[in-house]
Amino acid sequence: MQSKKTSRQKRFTVKEWSWIMYDWANSIYATNIMAAIFPTIFVSIAGDAGDIWWGYGTSIATFIVAVLAPLLGAVADYKGMKKKLFTAAMLTGVVFTFMIALVMNNWRLMLVGYILSRIGFSASCLFYDSFLTDVTDDERMDKVSSWGYAMGYIGGSTIPFVISIAVLLWLGYANPIAQKFSIIITSVWWLVFSIPFLKNVEQTHYIERTPDTSVVQIFRNIGRTARDIFQRKGLFLFVLAYFFYIDGVGTIISISTAYGTVLGLGSVGMILALLVTQIVAMPCSILFANIAAKITARRALIGAILIYTLICVVGFYMGFSLEPHQDAYETAVKTEFTDQLADITDETAISLRDAAAKIFTDENAETKWADEIVKYTQEQRANPEAEMVIEKFSLFLGNNIKVIENLRTAVSRSTILFWAMAFLVGTVQGGIQAVSRSYFGKLIPKERSNEFFGFFDIFGKFASVMGPFLYATIGAWTGRSSFAVLALIALFMIGLVIMVFGKKEFDKLDSVSANS
């Protein structure tokens, strides 16, 4: 247990700062790889079903970590093991993230690299979360946890994120060098800023290893922890509610830009909107901890769940109002343009046709169309098929002015809604995760923190399997990504019901926490 002096002091200790700095180190992975840049790159390379494959890949990675979490947690609680396992997981994430940049000509290998890097990232976060009980005491836990998320947003997310955006804007979003840079900087930043944690943070609460320690004993410890959670009704209700609402949170993080890409929103615009999320999230994470201290963690979490429900409603409308106009445009393109040019064989003409067909639904197609026109003009040769494509496209544009105007208006409206969603997410994303983490940390035995956080993580990770899988399945079944987003409301509603109707048990937890 930390001293009373540590509890009262305002400044963070070296251990606390070093622990906080790992959020600064790894948050770039959450931004560049999980949320903002890499999903759009992957979808553009994988094609029309890219967001579906992305959902399945995320589910696979989180399922593997969820299965391993209790075992890893039980092993890590033994003296000297937590730091070793943390280091192994962190390096796994760093190495496989770097390897993604080496296989960007093959979307299947990119997906494998993403799955393995996410396993390393998620496992390192499991051990990182449990180290919270080693670096501070209960009185400072909300503050330290929230500052971790805050520093992650303002530093680990924002600074390298802005650098990545600048390079993408400078070289062009579709430029392979710019895309690889956004991935490589993730690995380098993550590794370099993990050094303070590796140097200064040590395991202070642990279980002594004895000659009787064995695999059987480890599994007995897992069983004991499971029984402890289920027997403490309030704690069980909390992790059950967490299972559902954090599922929604994680799914929104994972699929937001993939969803926007399928809707035809501009990649650069979406990324800039997510930058707003990072900037807003920094002060709001700290503010959320202060609010939780005044109104209790339960009420603060209920408020955040309600805001996330609103975000899902906005996200549904964003897609639902746009998809009919996309369908109308694609139908017109097929019947009045591409079907009539199905028999062309000239390479230049085919490139012109393919770029023209997507010119209002793919931001890269307009550039490709212009490049192909320049190329054709420079060839200075008669090309009947190319001339036919240009003539047909001109005729198509004249016949479908209203369809194109409606699509452009819908895309503009959806882009504004995406920015609004990005702002709303920023107000609660860090706070709901930070307070959930610290609230749980104050309720568990410190020497068994990894065991308990292992189960805390398994609830979160199995939830993260369900959310992306739900999104991918509903999207594939209905053919509408907007309905997939609407389905996520159910996850927040279940979590909300548990948090509201479990008030009596949560009040007991708050009382125990205040008197501990």
Q: Classify residue 334: in a domain, yes or no.
A: no
Average pLDDT of span 491-506: 87
* CATH classification of the domain holding 139: 1.20.1250.20
Residues 505 and 379 in one domain: no
Mean predicted lDDT score pLDDT of the chain: 81
Q: Classify residue 45: in a domain, yes or no.
A: yes
Residues β-bridged to residue 207: 78
Q: Name the residue range of residue 109's domain.
A: 14-323+408-515
pLDDT in tens, 157-207: 678 888 998 898 888 878 889 999 999 999 999 999 999 999 998 877 666
Residues 105 and 169 in one domain: yes
Can you list the alpha helix ranges (DSSP code H) found in 172-266? 176-192, 195-200, 215-231, 233-262
Q: Tell me what pLDDT residue 7 has.
A: 45
Residues 377 and 418 in one domain: no
More confident residue, 342 or 373: 342
Q: Are 134 and 205 in contact (CB under 8 A)?
A: yes
Residues 486 and 393 in one domain: no
Residues 345 and 448 in one domain: no
The crossing angle, in degrees rounded to 10, of helices 267-295 and 297-320 is 160
Stretch among 121-130, 367-376, 391-400, 420-429 having the lowest mean pLDDT: 367-376
Q: Classify residue 328: in a domain, yes or no.
A: no
- Where residue 88 falls among pLDDT bands split at 50, 70, 90? very high
Residues 372 and 446 in one domain: no
Q: Tell me what pLDDT residue 4 has.
A: 43
Is pLDDT above 90 for 373? Answer: no
Q: Classify residue 329: in a domain, yes or no.
A: no
Residues 388 and 441 in one domain: no
Share of the chain above pLDDT 70, in %: 81
User: The whole model's pTM is what?
Assistant: 0.71
Q: Classify residue 6: in a domain, yes or no.
A: no
Residues 466 and 396 in one domain: no
Cα separation, 315 vs 313, in Å, equals 5
Residue with tokens 């699509």: 407
Q: Classify residue 414: in a domain, yes or no.
A: yes
Look at residues 400, 422, 448 and tell me which one is the last residue of a structural domain. Answer: 400
Q: Tell me what pLDDT residue 445 has.
A: 67
pLDDT in tens, 308-346: 999 999 989 988 888 888 888 888 888 888 888 888 887
Amino acid letter, 45 = I
Residues 69 and 116 in one domain: yes
Residues 59 and 106 in one domain: yes
Q: Tell me what pLDDT residue 465 has.
A: 67
pLDDT in tens, 383-426: 788 888 888 888 888 888 898 888 888 888 888 888 888 899 88
Count of domains observed in the chain: 2
Residues 392 and 420 in one domain: no
Q: Are 443 and 509 in contact (CB under 8 A)?
A: yes
Q: Classify residue 175: in a domain, yes or no.
A: yes
Residues 305 and 426 in one domain: yes
Average pLDDT of span 86-108: 93
Cα separation, 26 vs 5, in Å, equals 30
Q: Classify residue 8: in a domain, yes or no.
A: no
Alpha carbon 189 to its chain's center: 18
